[in-house]
Structure 1
Amino acid sequence: MTHSFHPVHSPKLQPELHQPWYKCREYPPSPRLESHVASFWTMDFRPVPDQIGHRVIPDGCVDIVVNLLSPASRKAAYVVGLTTQSEVLQFSEARSLFGIRLYSESARSILKTPLSALKGERIYLEDVLSLKGMYCVEEILAAQTIPDILAVAEQHLDRILADSDIAISPLVYQSMQIIYDRKGNLSVTNLANQVHCSERHLRRVFDQEFGLSPKEMLGIVRFQSTLQEFHQGRYSSLADLALKYGYYDESHFTNTFTQYYGMSLKGLIRKR
């Protein structure tokens, strides 16, 4: 099933990042994994003087990251939990990374643990998936090409999902589908009414599953939906874009953008 939510990341928005020493690419999953995997990605980084760091922004997803330069599978892969603010990573050594970006509502069926246990943390994959995680990482490190890595990752994900006995919470799944369909542009009260539960219960369920409140998840999806439209240039003015996504005014929009992106919208437009 094709997913309606497709988060955008800084390399697509900042042309100055397209340098020989910094390469990022995204790869779509096969149709059978589209409801679980937002994308596969690679990042190759070589330190140079006065370089720009790698900017990570909130996207409502969880990432499994594999260090392709690791000499051994142990400690070579880790899981990055949900984030609510941007971070700029500075590397002093060369990096070659492969990532699997998982949708939050279905990540538990792969990771076997609620995302609340991973919020803002980086946890070694072997501590989450034990031997299954180790086998996957060993094969990824042994792969010779990106297509080979993608094939290994998809094969292991298929196996994990086939063996999974963890059902996605109907309330969580339904809530996230509404959030995606509305592009985050609705209130917590409206969301609770649509899934036929109290706001208090909805907040409790989101906290237990994601470690985020419904309001925080709505804000991230709305930001990412706005970012997608900004990236594609489908707007007549910033004021119209802000109004379309329910921001009170352009000032509210720009302040929220800076909060999540870590850079002002005007600064990003200048770079573009």
Structure 2
Amino acid sequence: MSLLIQSALPDSSISHFVHSFWMLENNTGKDIPSTILPNGMVDLALMNMGSQNWEISIRGLDTVPSAINIPVATKMFSIGFKLLAVEYLLGDSIKDVLNGGKNLSDEIWQFEETDLNTFENFCSKATQIIKGIFIENIDNRKTKLFDLIYSSKGSLSVQELSDNVFWSSRQINRYFNQQFGISLKAYCNILRFGSSFKPISEGNLFPDQNFTDQNHFIKEIKKYSGVTPKELSKNVEDRFMDITAIKKFNK
């Protein structure tokens, strides 16, 4: 018995909106205490905790580590959305679910039982649903803004981003606060933190994502994870699922 984790990247046709697909299944025979780390994604999840009913929920951005419990026999599929999806796919602000979540109806996200038999089936159906959503013309400034944010892993300053997309920093921050509940700078800091997961999981405890120095690196890691980079790397008892997943995929 084990904890099964799988992930997959989206095809290029939906990569502006989707960061990745995930599946988690707790077959360990016991509940698993875990910690959600801020990673810059908005997660739509389908969860079954050993019953016949699947629940659909949306989780907003996380800005602090959150302790959770993964009950025995839980099976979960999720779509990790990039922020552009919030306005153009989900169609609503997520500022009310900052560091939290809420249940959704299955009006749009209609998955059949066969779609949830395998991870491959889930990814295929999720991609089909996303491609079928009618999307109005996307603001080119927003497309370029998010492309720059993600390609730089949050390392560009607010002013640099503003200058590149010809959109005032004041207007960008208003958009971020209204749509996501945080400022652009706060989001970039979270992305930079998330980009440190892979090197930390490999035992690299020195900054390589434009942190000012070692002290700044340690301070930021503790701010968003609650522990030092060394403790995060050790990941005792697989407490941090993001680190556990990366270590599994790097084997």
TM-score greater than 0.5 by the shorter chain: yes
Check the 8 A contact 1:37/1:103 in 2, yes or no.
Answer: yes
The alpha-carbon distance between structure 1 residues 201 and 53, as it changes in their structure 2 partners (threshold 3 A), is same
Q: Report the equivalent of 2:38.
A: 58
Alignment TM-score, normalising by the size of structure 2: 0.80
Q: Distance in 2 between matches of 1:184 and 1:177?
A: 11
Shift of 1:221: 1.4
- Alignment of 1:262 with 2:226, yes or no, is yes
Match of 2:180 among 193, 210, 213: 210
Shift of 1:229: 4.1
Q: Would you say 1:164 and 2:157 are equivalent positions?
A: no
Distance 1:269-1:54 versus aligned 2 partners, 3 A rule: closer
- Secondary structure of the equivalent of 1:123? strand
Match of 1:187 among 157, 169, 175: 157
Deviates more, 1:174-183 or 1:76-85: 174-183
Render the CA deviation track for 1:33-59: whole Å, top value 9, x for unaligned: 22222111111125656x652322111
Q: Does 1:176 align with 2:141?
A: no
* Aligned counterpart in structure 1 of residue 99 of structure 2, from 120, 125, 140: 120
> Structure 1 length normalisation: TM-score?
0.75
Q: What is the letter of the counterpart of residue 187 of structure 1? A: S
Partners of 2:196 and 2:228 in 1: CA distance:
14
Q: Are 2:18 and 2:79, in contact at CA under 8 Å, matched by a contact in 1?
A: yes
Residues 153 and 195 in structure 2, CA contact (< 8 A), matched pair in contact too: yes
Which residue of 1 is the match for residue 213 of structure 2? 249
Alignment of 1:214-253 (within 5 A): 214-231=184-201, 238=206, 242=207, 244-253=208-217
2:16 match: 35
Output the amino acid matched with 1:154: T
In structure 2, C-alpha distance between the alignment counterparts of 1:152 and 1:116, rounded to whole Å: 27
Question: What are the residue-to-residue correspondences of 1:2-81 with 2, within 5 Å?
Answer: 20-46=1-27, 53-68=33-48, 69-73=50-54, 76-81=55-60
Counterpart of 1:7? Answer: none
User: Which amino acid counterpart does residue 221 of structure 1 have in structure 2?
Assistant: L
Identity of aligned residues (%): 23
What CA distance in whole angstroms lies between the structure 2 residues aligned with 1:207 and 1:155? 30
CA displacement 1:200-236 (0-9 Å, x = unmatched): 2221121122211011111011112233344467x6x
Cα distance change, pair 105–46 in 1 and its aligned pair in 2 (3 A): same
Query: What is the rounded CA distance, in whole Å, between the counterparts of 2:234 and 2:92 in structure 1?
Result: 42
Change (3 A) 1:268 1:34: same
Structure 2 gaps of 5+ residues are 236-246
How many residues matched?
Answer: 235
**Alpha-carbon offset, residue 142 of structure 1:** 5.9
- Which residue of 127, 132, 141 maps to 2:108? 132
1: CA distance, partners of 2:114 / 2:181: 32
How far did residue 146 of structure 1 move? 2.5
Where is the helix percentage greater, Structure 1 or Structure 2?
Answer: 1
Q: CA deviation at 1:65?
A: 0.5
The equivalent residue for 1:201 is 171
- 1:96 aligns to 2:67 (yes or no): no
What RMSD in Å do the two structures reach over aligned CA positions?
2.6
The verdict on how the C-alpha distance between 1:177 and 1:147 changes in structure 2, with shifts beyond 3 A counting, is: closer
Q: CA-to-partner distance for each residue in 1:156-202, whole Å, 9 max, x for gaps?
A: 22212xx233x444333322222223221232233223333433222
